[in-house]
Structure 1
Amino acid sequence: MTTQEAPPPRRRPRGAAESLGSIVLAFESIIAFLGGLVVYGLRALPEPIAPWWGIVAGAVVAALMIVTTRFLRYSWGIALGWVLQVVVALGAFLVPALAIVALIFGGMYAYATIKGAALDRRNAQLAANPPEDA
């Protein structure tokens, strides 16, 4: 009695833009949560808003960044990543140090998505027209 095991399912190939963008967003999610803790600790929210909303906002932005990493294969996922970069930049109105975070991670996300897309186009072109070996 022989039983053949089914081969493990193949992983979907991921492009460079998707891979690099997901790395940046995953690490930035940690910083976004910590930024929420800073907003709470400094009581940077306007007076009628309770300070604990800073933690909630940081946790929500961090969770959205993690969820967005699953959708970077689509163009709207890349755009959602950019929207989250703007949200982090808007946090600089509450805590000015978040402007530095927005510049650093925004630059890394820009590089990941722009250069990653260029690498994906180049790899697709090479796959379609392999170079001739001499």
Structure 2
Amino acid sequence: MVRLTKAQRQWRPGQVKKPSSIKVMFSSTVLTLEAFVAFFATLAIFGLNFNSPLIYKIIIWVLGLALIGAFLAAPAFLRKPWGYTFGWALQGLLILAGVALPSLIFIGLCFTAAYWYAVRTGERLDRENKEREREQLEWEKQQKNL
């Protein structure tokens, strides 16, 4: 038995596909790349604290894996009203991780700038695509009337 998704069950012939959001795509890319940064930062912090007591090592891995999981889960929330706020909070957490590894402050600031650019540029491109789609529909309507 094949299970269909909700979108597949609701599909009808001639149905136009809803355009995807460039803002979501750009922001998702930045957040996913930050998961890799969080993983390598966790490894670096663990390496710097290799001779520390076991409890510190456990805390490093728990916090690191939680941050990695948050960065990987964040793109799923970008369609929710609070999704981008969650993304901004994660930017702050990456910068805050600079307490354990000072180079993360610079890396976090660079990724924060990349996230800001992704959100801003994505919004602009989505607006332009909507305007282009509206103009295309208007043109097609005029061509039908000729």
User: Normalised by the shorter chain, which TM-score bucket?
Assistant: 0.7 to 0.9
The aligned counterpart of 2:116 is: 110
Determine which structure has more spread, i.e. the larger CA radius of gyration. Answer: 2
Give deviations 1:1-46, integer Å, cap 9, x for gaps.
xxxxx9x9377642011001111111110111211222222129x9
* Shift >4 Å, 4+ stretches: none
Following the alignment from structure 2 to structure 1, what is the Cα–Cα distance between the partners of residues 37 and 110? Answer: 11
**Residue type at the aligned position of 1:86:** G
CA contact (8 A) 1:24 1:109 kept: yes
Instruction: Report SS of the residue matched to 1:52.
Output: helix
**Residue type at the aligned position of 2:121:** K
**Of 76, 84, 103, which residue of structure 2 is paired with 1:70?**
76
Following the alignment from structure 1 to structure 2, what is the Cα–Cα distance between the partners of residues 65 and 13? Answer: 25
Q: Number of residues paired by the alignment?
A: 125
Instruction: Report SS of the residue matched to 2:37.
Output: helix
| Greater per-residue helix proportion | 2
Return 5+ residue gaps in structure 2 as ranges. Answer: 12-16, 141-146
Return 5+ residue gaps in structure 1 as ranges. Answer: 1-5
Identity of paired residues, percent? 28
Following the alignment from structure 1 to structure 2, what is the Cα–Cα distance between the partners of residues 17 and 29? Answer: 19
Cα-Cα RMSD: 2.7
**Residue type at the aligned position of 1:127:** E
Instruction: Report SS of the residue matched to 2:120.
Output: helix
The aligned counterpart of 2:49 is: 43
**Of 5, 26, 35, which residue of structure 2 is paired with 1:29?**
35
The aligned counterpart of 1:88 is: 94
Matches within 5 A, 1:117-132: 117-130=123-136
**Residue type at the aligned position of 2:126:** D
CA contact (8 A) 1:39 1:55 kept: no
